[in-house]
Homo-oligomer: A and B are copies of this chain.
């Protein structure tokens, strides 16, 4: 299907103006200049010929059946041009023209109709409002950017045309080849999800690099991106990270999850490498395209000067990777071959007058050392330095080592620091397939991203545990609430739901009178807690709606009457459904578990240690449901307060496995019931080994009619 878009045999350029500078003219010119091998059909009712090619009134009358139509006519004519293309058998359409969704409601409607029309005819549409498409391996520049890249293995998708042009220009300057470049525009039909799926299977693409501002179908994205990441690295720069989520949240979990948290969780889940800066997007893509990910985190540094070696070592250690000494045998052998003043500790200092051969010896020694997982080659331009020859010699050594049958994949990244004088060396590095970086920090950041990708690839297959639960019972409670459009499910019902999913809930019951309260208390056993039941009271304790540790029948009777009396006075409008009486939880560590449903990515689970850790320090971890046991445990480990849970000086540890299991149960509940939009268990009382965590309080929010 996407062959028509990315490697069509023939292309119609609709709106092929005779005027240089006009978008349609430029596209035609670029297509010709890229030596496109297929047929080109210019469409322009006002011209006989453009750029030496015969021109047609419309595609239909041309008698051709182009696989792809690139449309660059005024917005008002786009619809008829699209219809013409579809009628003429085009399988894919690129709408370059702007003036749709970005202009307001009218434009958005027209854009939707356009997309719907194409879909109904089985035709895929890219854009509108985009730069176009390039495929270096197909010699096709169907865009209005002149910068056609050389052939390479990085494919780019971008929601911003300007970022496309900037990356193209950068790639050209650095002499880095690209495979395909696709400008997504308004994503009316074709989205990042379609293109990830396509590029994952594209034989010319080894790395997918993306610039995205939004992701519309979060679930699809995660599924497809995960599959793509299994084939090849996907590096994405996500812009718009600081715009606060617009969704008003009533739960703890909801208010703690910023707009960016869900993207982070989705990228982690799907193995997508997130580029933190624009430069990192390019750096990482180049590193991945040229070198294998490192099998471990031990980095050897080779340098011709002390200072840059220290810089690199700092960067490695700050990144969480390690600078370890060479194995003794490797160090001794290398020492014998280098001048006396050279250092074979790590960093390996081959001295300021190092020739290419000395660099090669050091690289070889590091490659042969079982304790080295990656190599960073630093070079500064000193009097005797031959940057270009050193680059070729090191690259040749890397190539020859990689071709040996027993070779282990030890990536080599180069940092030729300086400017003018090292430029020939940097060019040579790129030509020879070694990634080069202008600073140790940037090389190490790329290496770290490669290591994270390797770790993701090496992780065991995900297996989500399905617990045996009473799903039917939850279905009944939820549909009863949905029927009366009650969105807030209070403590009593929330605990019923959780109990059906085998959470440990204190014994208790709802009552309508003081006598009944005492009855329940006597049945469940003293001491008890009492809590007001009201859909209109969100923060129960703020209005005196919670009484704890009641040890005697008289206290229970007094509490009931006082609670009803005082809340009635304080909130005369509040509907009171009675009072919930339950056996007090045993004291323990308080934990908060929660779930909020992200509009794009679905249920997001939250974990935090209760009290100040959540309330003040916002020390929480998120992940997308469904989660595995390992992912649940990673959430616990992802908080600073994990040290307290594990058991720190003066703090008894808790049964982490049981907390993780409770997270998995929430995951299952949220996955089973899309109607649940938010859920807080706050607190969950947890204890030491084997002590089942107890739900002390809980709240659930359902989607309103029409899906909140």
Pairwise interchain contact A381-B615, C-beta atoms closer than 8 A: no
- Do B352 and A162 have beta carbons less than 8 Å apart? yes
| Residue pair B308, A615 in contact (C-beta under 8 Å) | no
Given A279-B439, A615-B650, A616-B648: A382 touches B169 (CB 8 Å cut-off):
no
Is A162's CB under 8 angstroms from B306's CB?
yes
Q: Which of A61-69, A84-92, A420-428 contacts B (4 or more CB under 8 A)?
A: A420-428
A619 and B507 CA atoms in complex are apart in Å by 40
- Residues in chain B near residue A682, CB distance under 8 A: none
Is A2 in contact with chain B by the CB < 8 A criterion? no
When the two chains form the complex, which single residue of B171, B237, B442, B612 contacts A279, counting CB atoms closer than 8 Å? B442
- A5–B674 Cα distance when bound, in Å, is 76
Question: When chains A and B are docked, how far (Å) is the Cα of A158 from the Cα of B307?
Answer: 9
Residue of chain B at shortest CB distance from A159: B307
- From residue A650, how far is it (CB to closest CB) to chain B in Å? 7
Contact check, B279 vs A169: say whether CB atoms are below 8 A apart. no
| A150 vs chain B, min Cβ distance (A) | 13
A307-B211, A381-B166, A382-B162 are known contacts. Are A171 and B419 too (CB-CB below 8 A)?
yes
- Let me know if A381 and B165 touch, CB within 8 A: yes
Taken together as a complex, chains A and B put the C-alpha atoms of A139 and B481 apart, in Å, by 85
Interface centre among A166, A313, A380 (most CB of B within 10 A): A166
Q: Does A515 contact B (CB under 8 A)?
A: no
Q: Report A250-286 CB contacts with B as 1/0, cut-off 8 Å.
A: 0000000000000000000000000001110000000
Any chain B CB within 8 A of the CB of A74? no
Q: Which of A137-192 contact B (CB under 8 A)?
A: 144-145, 147, 158-163, 165-166, 168-174
Residue A240 interfacial (CB < 8 Å)? yes
Interface size range of chain A in the complex: 35 or more
A248 nearest CB across to chain B (Å)? 20
How far apart are the CA atoms of A103 and B342 in the complex, in Å?
A: 11
| With A612-B648, A612-B651: A380-B165 Cβ-Cβ less than 8 Å | yes
Which residue of chain B lies nearest to A240 when distances are taken between CB atoms in the complex?
Answer: B310
For A440, what are the chain B residues with a Cβ–Cβ distance below 8 Å?
Answer: 278
Expressed in whole angstroms, the minimum distance between the Cβ of A284 and any Cβ of chain B is 14
User: Is A441 interfacial (CB-CB < 8 Å)?
Assistant: yes
Q: A21-B384, A307-B160 are in contact. Are A241 and B166 (CB under 8 A)?
A: no
Chain A 617-662 residues near chain B, CB threshold 8 A = 617, 640-641, 643-644, 648-651
Please determine whether A308 and B277 come into contact, CB atoms closer than 8 angstroms. Answer: no
Report chain B residues within 8 Å CB of A162. Answer: 304-308, 352, 380, 382, 417
Give the complex CA separation of A382 and B143 in angstroms.
12
Query: Which residues does chain B contribute within 8 Å of A546, judged by CB atoms?
Result: none
Contact A423 B617 (CB under 8 A): no
Q: Do residues A239 and B314 form an inter-chain contact, with CB atoms below 8 A?
A: yes
Contact of A241 among B23, B168, B318 (CB under 8 A): B318
Question: Are B239 and A279 touching (Cβ within 8 A)?
Answer: no
A418 touches B170 (CB 8 A): yes
The answer to whether A419 and B173 have CB atoms under 8 Å apart is: yes
**Shortest distance between the CB of A135 and any CB in chain B (Å):** 20
Chain A 370-386, CB within 8 Å of chain B: the 1/0 string? 00000000001111100
Known contacts A307-B162, A380-B162; decide if A612 and B171 are in contact (CB<8 Å): no
Docked CA distance A26–B382 (Å):
12
CA distance A305 to B160 in the complex (A): 8
Taking the closest CB of chain B, its distance from the CB of A289, in whole angstroms, is 17
In the complex, A617→B616 CA distance in Å?
A: 14
Is A242 in contact with chain B by the CB < 8 A criterion?
yes
A595 to B41, CA, bound (A): 79
Q: Which residues of B contact A161 (CB under 8 A)?
A: 305, 307, 352, 382
In the assembly, what is the distance between CA of A155 and CA of B5, in Å? 55
Assembly CA distance A160 to B349 (angstroms): 14
**Once bound together, how far apart are the Cα atoms of A417 and B166, in whole Å?**
6
User: Does B239 lie within 8 Å of A166, measured CB to CB?
Assistant: no
Is A202 engaged at the interface, CB distance under 8 Å to the other chain? no
Given contacts A169-B419, A239-B311, 6 further A-B contacts (CB under 8 A): A160-B306, A160-B307, A162-B304, A169-B381, A239-B307, A612-B648
Instruction: Pick the 3 closest A-B CB pairs, nearest first.
Output: A160-B307, A173-B419, A162-B305
Ordered by A's residue number, 19 sampled pairs between the chains whose C-beta atoms are within 8 Å are A162-B306, A162-B352, A162-B382, A163-B308, A163-B417, A165-B381, A165-B418, A166-B308, A169-B420, A169-B422, A170-B417, A170-B418, A173-B419, A242-B313, A278-B441, A612-B643, A612-B644, A612-B648, A616-B651
